[in-house]
Amino acid sequence: MNRIGLRKEEKAFEARVPLIPEHVKLLRDQHHIDFFVEPNKQRAFSESEFEKVGATIIPLKGSGSQVVFGIKEMPIGFFERDVVYVFFSHTIKGQKYNMPMLRNILDAGATLIDYERVVDEKGRRLIFFGNWAGMAGISDTFHVLGERLEIEGITPNPFAGMRSTLELKSLDAVKDEFRSLGKRISEQGLPKELTPFVVGFAGYGNVSRGAQEIFDILPHKVVEPENLPILEPEENALYKCVFKEEHMVEPKDPLATFSLQDYYKTGKANYRGIFESHVQYLTVLMNCIYWSEKYPRLISKKFIREHWNEDNRKLRVVGDISCDIGGAIEFTVKCTTPGNPAFTYVISEDRAEPGVKEKGPVVMAVDNLPCELPRESSTSFSETLVGFIPVFAMADFTVSSFEDLNLPREIKDAVIVYRGKLTKNYEYIEEYLVEDKIK
């Protein structure tokens, strides 16, 4: 039998699994794959549920597992030579906090495959949690919005008393919470000083669609970005505004027209950010975009310093679902946890104050949002992963040359490290490893 390991998750509140017991049983029965599951009482699926479908509960290091699947980063010292590790590594942007882990993978002679890089020919992710991050993220964002308006004494406040996603525990409960909110908005109305009350969604992919699915439960109207300046106040309905790339940037050349493919290719070289011109109309911003340093930010620290004291400011809360530290939202200066999902950015001191305060933008920045709906999000993720497992199980990851490794294009392109060496597509990460080592 081929041996597959399921790594335990150690991060606080992280109860997700990459494969659910039902799919473990399917793979054992149909493909004769043996599963080793690391002991852990934190999982949303119990050890007994895995044992019932034939999995062995055992520590993975030294177990002989050929491929180990997890969700979040794995600890330094866990990696073994010629073992394949598949998880969200958060290394492809050269993230400083994960360079020591990546170096340990290289030194160990292990192989790293990142779910994030398993994409189709159009670059769309094939293994993902995205929609669940959006669902949990907007729930937490509206929860902290209620706290923020309450602290400011703004009334009516139909958002007051909303429970966090962690408290709600299931998607059905989240939807019920939003149905109740919708009823309060219809009955109480919205605070006049914030109307027209606009919730902006930056991006339109899986994350944004998940957030919008929950938002759409509420009474609302849809507005295009170009119509934000002429909106009429609505006391009993929110406005939803979805921003695409052409609303976030413009060509630097005044004679050029926007081209999505050119923007993806050239980024800041040919385009400047214009999203900040929309911010004055937003009370809540949901950031759902993929971002790297190649592209302009949505909101800079400089802008928020200048904008915060303007008379026309409505912005109260940013739901930074993407949660890139110092990224698209430059004042996302830290990540938060499901137990305390927000911080207030103290503009004058350039720092985060835990929790919801009156002065400064409140940022919801939980970096593992799907863990707040662990059984449902794990089931969804497992459905996207299960079809790839036989390929992982049958592949020979001990062939000496990466070029000779026989894998489908989608998976082979996601191999960041092969047997202790960065693959050609990811050799650029070496400069970040060197920088980290020097420091």
Confidence tier at 436 by pLDDT (50, 70, 90)? low
Residue closest to 63 by CA, chosen among 46, 39, 29: 39
Residues contacting residue 121 through CB under 8 Å, at least 6 positions apart:
none
Assess whether 134 and 148 both reside in one domain: yes
CA distance 116 to 126: 8
420 has a pLDDT exceeding 90: yes
DSSP-assigned beta bridge partners for residue 198: 239
For the record, the structure tokens of 187 come out as 């009955």
Taking each helix axis from N to C end, the angle separating 430-438 and 99-108, rounded to the nearest 10 degrees, works out to 110
Whole-angstrom distance, CA of residue 113 vs CA of residue 136: 26
Is residue 13 predicted with pLDDT exceeding 80? Answer: yes
CATH number at residue 105: 3.40.50.720
What pLDDT is attached to residue 390?
97
**Amino acid code (one letter) for 410:** E
Q: How many domains does the chain have?
A: 2
Q: Is 32 left (phi over 0), alpha (psi -120 to 50) or beta?
A: left
Residues 208 and 74 in one domain: no
Question: pLDDT over 70 for what percent of the chain?
Answer: 99
Q: Are 261 and 209 in a shared domain?
A: yes
**Are 386 and 329 contained in the same domain?**
no
- Tokens 């350039």 correspond to 350
Q: How far apart are CA 333 and CA 30, in angstroms?
A: 47
Residue pLDDT, tens place only, 60-109: 999 999 999 999 999 999 999 999 999 999 999 999 999 999 999 999 99
Last residue of a domain, which of 353, 372, 391? Answer: 372
Q: Say yes or no to pLDDT of 20 above 90.
A: yes
Q: Per-residue DSSP letters for 70-130?
A: -SSPPPTT---TT-EEEE----TT--GGGHHHHHHHHHHT-EEEEGGG-B-TTS-BSS--H
Strands 238-243 and 220-222 come out as: parallel
Mean pLDDT of the chain: 96
168, 256: one domain: yes
* 167 & 300 share domain: yes
Token output for 358: 């009156």
Both 146 and 110 in a single domain? Answer: no
Last residue of a domain, one of 317, 345, 372: 372
What is the DSSP secondary-structure string of 238-276?
EEEEEE-HHHHEEESSTT----HHHHHHHGGGTEEE-GG
Q: Note whether 325 and 334 are within 8 A (CB).
A: yes
Over residues 311-343, the pLDDT tens digits come to: 889 999 999 999 999 999 999 999 999 999 999
Task: Dig out the tokens for 22 from the structure.
Answer: 């039902």
pLDDT band for 435, please (50, 70, 90 cuts). confident
What is the rounded distance in angstroms from the CA atom of residue 230 to the CA atom of residue 213?
A: 26
pLDDT-above-90 percentage for the chain: 95
329 and 400 share one domain = no
User: Based on the domain organization, do 156 and 115 belong to the same domain?
Assistant: no
Using one digit for the tens of pLDDT, what is the confidence trace for 145-197? 999 999 999 999 999 999 999 999 999 999 999 999 999 999 999 999 999 99
Residue that terminates a domain, selected from 352, 372, 392? 372
Cα–Cα distance measured from residue 248 to residue 177, given in angstroms and rounded to the nearest whole number? 32
Q: Which of 149, 118, 139 is nearest to 412 (CA)?
A: 118
- Domain of 208? 130-372
Sole residue written with tokens 């449902």: 376
Pair (368, 243) in one structural domain: yes
Residues 413 and 118: their CA atoms lie apart, in Å, by 7
pLDDT of 124 strictly over 60 = yes
Query: Is residue 357 located within the same domain as residue 267?
Result: yes
- Pair (163, 103) in one structural domain: no
Mean pLDDT of 207-234: 97
Q: What pLDDT is stored for residue 37 in this prediction?
A: 98
pLDDT digits (tens, 9 = 90+) for 343-398: 999 999 999 999 999 999 999 999 999 999 999 999 999 999 999 999 999 999 99
Provide the pLDDT for residue 434.
83
Please state, in angstroms and rounded to a whole number, the distance separating the CA atoms of residues 358 and 300: 20
pLDDT average, residue stretch 252-257: 97
